[in-house]
Amino acid sequence: MSGDFVKGKAKIEAGKVDTDLVHVLIPLNQQPARHLGKQRWALLFLDPCRELAKLNLSGQDWQVLMTLLSYMDFGNRIAVVQSTIAADLGIQPSRVSEAIKKLLSLSVLVEDTKVGGSRVFRLNAKYAYRGKTKNVRAKQSEDKEKIARDLPGRHATNLLNAEVKAIEKAVKPLADDQKDQARSTLASAAINKIDDDYCSDQSFDPERFDIGASIIARLVKKYGVPSPF
């Protein structure tokens, strides 16, 4: 270990956390007398960091994530408006919104209970945790279960966005008086394909059917085309 740091002492209940994977490093010139003084800190789990590094996050995604973490409260809750993050980083709020959507889609962030009308997020506790060590495993299990529950809806949204993007890209070069008819034709073709791929499989899978039905319903509403159901 470098002479610039020493291991901090921390009480960790046996069986709750694998202490071989958790380290707290405290700069020697900032060692507080007790409980790290006014320094805010969290447990960082090392192996998942490798997974995080492979998620193909852009530089701006990392900037937004790190700034969100600077506002993280106990239980990994992050309650801060996007305009504040934008002001911190000197970027447009729309860029913050894009980064947060990506982090949610990758399950780096998890949706938490809203405060009033404001969204609240949590950092997925498999990466790090801020709070009592005895609560780590419970929070990790809670996040894993929530992500599993939300995955079908997130998958449907991602597929829907991909279909809409493809349709709009295809009609962009057309004359204005041709676009509506082209959208309807392309949307109907997309619906038929999704129906075949997700809703007409002989080995019926209820979860897969629900994903397909959700995409179809939203395409029908958006483009005003007939539904196959």
For the chain, the domains span 1-40, 42-131, 151-223
Residue 127 near residue 46 (C-beta atoms within 8 A): no
Specify the CATH class of 42-131 in words. Answer: mainly alpha
Percent of the chain with pLDDT over 90: 48
pLDDT digits (tens, 9 = 90+) for 13-31: 555 555 455 544 434 444 4
pLDDT tops 80 at residue 36:
no
pLDDT higher than 80, residue 96: yes
For residue 35, what pLDDT is reported?
Answer: 54
pLDDT at 154 over 80: no
pLDDT at 225: 92
User: Is residue 204 very low, low, confident or very high in pLDDT (cuts 50, 70, 90)?
Assistant: low
Q: What is the pTM of this model?
A: 0.58
- Who wins on pLDDT, 39 or 64? 64
Buried b (16+ CB within 10 A) or exposed e, 41-68: ebbebeeeeeebeeeebeeebebbbebb
**pLDDT for the residue numbered 25:** 43
Residue 91's pLDDT band (cuts 50, 70, 90): very high
Q: Does the pLDDT at position 140 exceed 80?
A: yes
Confidence at residue 21, expressed as pLDDT on a 0 to 100 scale: 52
